[in-house]
Amino acid sequence: MLPAERKTFYQPIVEQIVEGWATGKPPLPATGKPGGYYRLTNYLLEYLVAHGVFPAGVHAMPEGRDQHNAIEPSFPVDFDVVIGDVVLPNSVLHKKEKL
């Protein structure tokens, strides 16, 4: 699978995981999503595309910038907790390919 195909393949599971993480967190007025939502989404998707497995343990999300170009601080995410018992989807193409 090409990287673009991997992104398409993993996108639904990433959205499911990040939406679960976002539950109960206050949304930002500008986006309607909690702070860090898009950084976590991008980090998890890029990690899956590169490695083909979920990250484990605590990872620091990179610093970000808000709509006013102000720095948003890094924050830790415990992927063991965030991912829980979610299982990666299988694909015939994915099984044949070595990442």
What pLDDT, on a 0 to 100 scale, did the predictor assign at position 91? Answer: 57
Sorted by where each begins, the domain ranges of the chain are 3-96
Q: Which residues of 46-69 are buried (b: 16+ CB within 10 A; e: fewer)?
A: ebbbeeeebbeeebebeebeeeee
Instruction: Chunk the chain into consecutive blocks of 10 residues (it has 99) and report each block's average pLDDT, rounded to whole numbers.
Output: 91 97 93 93 96 96 86 94 91 46
Cα separation, 96 vs 18, whole angstroms: 28
Of 81, 7, 74, nearest in space to 44 by CA: 7
Which residue in this structure is represented by tokens 């018992």?
A: 85
Question: Looking at residue 47, what DSSP letter applies?
Answer: H
What pLDDT, on a 0 to 100 scale, did the predictor assign at position 18? Answer: 98
